[in-house]
Structure 1
Amino acid sequence: MTTMDLSQYTVFITTNLPYILLGLTALIFVALIVFININIKMSRLNRRYKKMMSGMDGVNIERLLVHHVGEVRQAVDKVNQLEGEYRRLDTIASASIQYLGVVRFNAFEDTGSDLSFALALLDGKKNGVVLSSIYGRSESRVYAKPVVGGESTYYLTDEEKGALKKALEKSS
């Protein structure tokens, strides 16, 4: 740079000094506002951080997280244990009698009341048995007919069909 160039700069600065000072003052004022805003946000963040780090009952956040992770692991283990128990009970329940239908009837005209009956007992897969009891004055007889998938390969009487239908309606 030559002396002439520096003198031009000096003249420019001296002639525009009030405007330059005004611009710098405005920049300092904006910087001050930004600084105050950042300081307020940092103060809030610092309070939240201290509160979080103190945890509950003075325990710091690391201990609190380790404790909660342990509790979560115990809960997951318990859920897995309960799921196994659920599967076991579901298997037992599906093989247990869940649906039944009963039809009472009078097998013979010379006996009073509806002392004969047909009873359908079905599990969750609609497998089971239809029991029939025929009551007479001098004797009683009981018949059992297997049911697979809601149907029997044996001939069913109207009363047995009615009992099976009632049991199947309850399974729907």
Structure 2
Amino acid sequence: MQGLINFFKTASVILSIISIVGVIFLFMVIGILNRRINRLRKRYDKLLRGRGEINMEELVSMHSKEIENSEIKLSELENDFKLQKDFIKRSIEEIQNQNNLAVSKIGFHRYNAFEYLKGEMSFSLALLDGSGNGLIVTSIFGRENSQMYAKEVKNLKAVDELSIEEEIALKMAIDKK
């Protein structure tokens, strides 16, 4: 027993140092574990989104309800989008139909109707819509008087016989892109 007491007297310094190192090591382990717990707590709080104390079953149930509500809202937005899309399509079709009725092709040809006149005061003007329907207006200028004529055009063809100048104006209108 005396040997054991002598051993402890001589080894007490070494045992104290080992104990101090062990305690420091344990404090380091506690610090590391404390940081891990704090990280887990932050992640858990983020998961709960400030809902306080709640169990995982309630949390999953709440999230599934939120997902269902989001799906319903998404479905409503999708239906609204389809309605808007259909409305826009109809509007575009109406505008295209109206544009087909508007004058979109114009041919204009000036010329001298009589040899004794200069300055190309006579003209033929072809006005066509998108379907190729319209009219040709011709003005013949003379010293004594002027005459105006109008001829109908259907499907890019004149209803009445055309003069050379009127054919030129019609061809110019047809060739417009």
TM-score bracket, shorter-length normalisation: 0.5 to 0.7
Query: Do structure 1's residue 147 and structure 2's residue 137 form an aligned pair?
Result: no
Which has the greater radius of gyration? Answer: 2
Per the normalisation by structure 2, the TM-score is 0.59
From 108, 114, 120, the counterpart of 2:114: 108
- With 59-68 and 162-171 compared, the bigger mean Cα shift is at 59-68
Q: CA deviation at 1:66?
A: 2.0
Q: CA deviation at 1:163?
A: 0.6
Which residues of structure 1 form unaligned runs of 5+? Answer: 1-49
Amino acid at match of 1:154: D
Please name the residue that 1:126 is paired with: 132
Please name the residue that 1:83 is paired with: 89
Alignment of 1:25-104 (within 5 A): 60-104=66-110
**What are the Cα deviations for residues 74-123 of structure 1, in whole angstroms up to 9, with x where unaligned?**
11111111122122222211122111111111112332211111111111
Amino acid at match of 2:164: D
Which residues of structure 2 form unaligned runs of 5+? Answer: 1-46, 48-58
Per the normalisation by structure 1, the TM-score is 0.61
Distance in 1 separating the partners of 2:168 and 2:72:
63
- How many residue pairs are counted as aligned between the two chains? 116
Amino acid at match of 2:76: G
**What are the Cα deviations for residues 122-151 of structure 1, in whole angstroms up to 9, with x where unaligned?**
111111111101112232111001111111
